[in-house]
Amino acid sequence: MRTHLLAAGHACLDFYQGVVPVLIPFLVAERHYGYVAVSGFVLAATVLSSVAQPVFGLLTDRWRLRWLVPAGTVAAGVGVALVGAGNSYPWTLGAIALAGLGVAAYHPEAARLARAVTAGDHRGMSWFSLGGNVGFALAPVVAAPVLATGGLSAAPLLAVPAVLGTLLTLPLLRRGPAAARPVTERRGTDDWRGFRRLTLVIVLRSIGYVGLSTFVGLFAQQRLGAGSTAGSVAVFVLFAGGAAGTVLGGRLAERWGRIRVTRAAYAVATAAVAGVVLVPGPALYVFVAVAAVALYVPFSLHITLGQDYLPHRTGVAGGVTLGLAVSVGGVATPVLGAVASATSLHLAVALLVLPTAGAWLVARLLAEPVASGPARPVTRSGAS
C-alpha cells in the first residue's frame, strides 16, 4: 500500500514535468512570445531542474529532509498556477522556474524514501518509477482541455494534482518503517567509477529515447505515407510500451539480476531501433513497441544501482539518475533536428541506433555493487 501511495504521489509530481510543453502553445497564442522567449521557459523547466537535483541530493545526504517531498510537490503546483496570475515575461519565467525547482527538490529525497518504503525491492522501485511516467504522460491529457477551455487564466486549476500528491505522501512521512526507523546506509566504499559508467549508460539511453519520442510520430507519417493519425499511434505505442517496460524491469531483475537484465535490454533496444528504421509497413509499430519496452526495462534499475554504487551518497545518486543524466538527451535533440533538416528524417532516426548501442557497450562494463557488510544506522541532523 505504501508503495502505491508513493507511486501515486510521484505521478502527481511528474505531471508538472509534462505540463510545460502543454503551456508553450498557449503562451505563444495569448502573450505572443517568440521562439527565443519560449525556449527560455523550457530551459528554466528542464535544465535548471536537472542541474539542481544533484545539489538537493548533496543536501539530503547531509541532512534528513523528508519535508522536501511534499514541499517540492507544492512548489511545482504553485509555480504552474502562478503562470496564470501574471502576464509579464519575468513573472512567467520565474513561475516556471519555481515549478522546475519543486521537481528538483522532490526527486532525491523521494528516491531515498522509495528505497526505504520498498526495502530496496526491484519491483517496488519499478512501481515508483512507473508513477512518474504515468504522471508525465497524463499531463497533456489533463492540462490541454483545461487551458483550451479557460486559457492561461485557468492555470491555477492545474495545482489540484499537487494538493492530491501532497495528501497522498504525508502519511508516508509520519508512519511505517520509512518514518519510524533511523536512516540506514550500507557499509562499504562509494564506487564512483561504477557510478560514472552507469551515468554514461543513462545519458546514452536518454539521447536514444528522447530522440525517438521527438521524431517517431513524424517518421511514422513519412514511412507509412499516412496522416497525423499514424504519427499519433506511434507516439501512443511508444508511451504505452515504456509503461509496460518500467513494470517489467523490476520483475525481470528479481529473477535474473539487474546487470544481466540491463545488458540484455539495451541489446534488444539496439536491434529494435534498427528495426524501426529498416522494416517497412505497419510492422514499424511492433519495433517501436519493442524499443520502448527495452529502453524502459532498466529505468527503475538505474535508480537502485546508482544508490548501491553510492551507498553513502544515495541523495546524489537519486538526483543524477532521476534528473541530470536523464534530461541530457534533450540537449542532443536539436542536433538531430539539424541533421534531419540538412539531410533526411530517415538518417536522423537511423543515428539513434548509435546511442542505444553505446549504452549496451558501456553496460557490459557494469558490475553488481558489492556491500562489505550489513546496513548500519546513520544519524543525520535535521527534521524528518
Can you tell me whether residue 368 is helix, strand or coil?
coil
Give the C-alpha distances (Å, rounded to integers) separating 373 from 181, 187, 195: 19, 5, 20
Cell numbers at 378, concatenated: 546513520
Helices marked H in 119-159: 122-150
- Name the nearest CA neighbour of 98 among 7, 5, 19, 10: 19
pLDDT tens digits along 232-243: 788 888 888 888
Q: Domains in the chain, start-ordered, CATH in brackets? A: 2-184 (1.20.1250.20), 192-363 (1.20.1250.20)
pLDDT level of residue 47 (50, 70, 90 thresholds): confident
**pLDDT value at residue 170:** 87
C-alpha span between 351 and 358 (Å, rounded): 12
C-alpha span between 8 and 11 (Å, rounded): 5
Do residues 128 and 2 make contact, with C-beta atoms less than 8 angstroms apart? no
- Name the nearest CA neighbour of 306 among 192, 218, 158: 192
pLDDT level of residue 381 (50, 70, 90 thresholds): very low
pLDDT tens digits along 316-374: 888 788 776 667 776 777 788 888 888 988 999 999 999 999 999 999 999 998 753 33
C-alpha span between 77 and 336 (Å, rounded): 32
Report the b/e string of 224-263 with b at 16+ CB within 10 A.
beeeeebbebbbebbbebbbbbbbbbbebbeeeebbebbb
Query: What's at 45, amino acid-wise?
Result: A
**pLDDT value at residue 359:** 97
pLDDT level of residue 376 (50, 70, 90 thresholds): very low
Quick one: how far is CA 166 from the chain centroid? Answer: 19
Give the C-alpha distances (Å, rounded to integers) separating 313 from 303, 330, 382: 12, 26, 17
161: left (phi over 0), alpha (psi -120 to 50) or beta: alpha
* 73 burial type by CB count under 10 A (0-12 exposed, 13-18 middle, 19+ buried): buried
DSSP-assigned states of every residue in 8-54: HHHHHHHHHHHHHHHHHHHHHHHH---HHHHHHHHIIIIIHHHHHHH
pLDDT level of residue 266 (50, 70, 90 thresholds): very high
- Can you give the pTM of this predicted structure? 0.74
- Name the nearest CA neighbour of 360 among 193, 208, 192, 252: 208
**pLDDT value at residue 55:** 82
Q: Which residue has the cell 505531471?
A: 15
Q: How many residues does the chain have?
A: 384
Q: Name the packing angle between helices 35-42 and 89-118 (round to 10°).
A: 30
- 376: which strand partners? 185
The yes-or-no verdict on residue 41 having pLDDT over 90 is no
Cell numbers at 48, concatenated: 535548471
pLDDT tens digits along 77-108: 999 999 999 889 999 999 999 998 998 888 88
C-alpha span between 66 and 45 (Å, rounded): 23
pLDDT tens digits along 194-217: 999 999 999 999 899 888 887 888
Cell numbers at 231, concatenated: 504519427
pLDDT level of residue 184 (50, 70, 90 thresholds): very low
Between 354 and 228, whose confidence is greater?
Answer: 354
Give the C-alpha distances (Å, rounded to integers) separating 123 from 146, 220, 350, 369: 34, 33, 33, 18
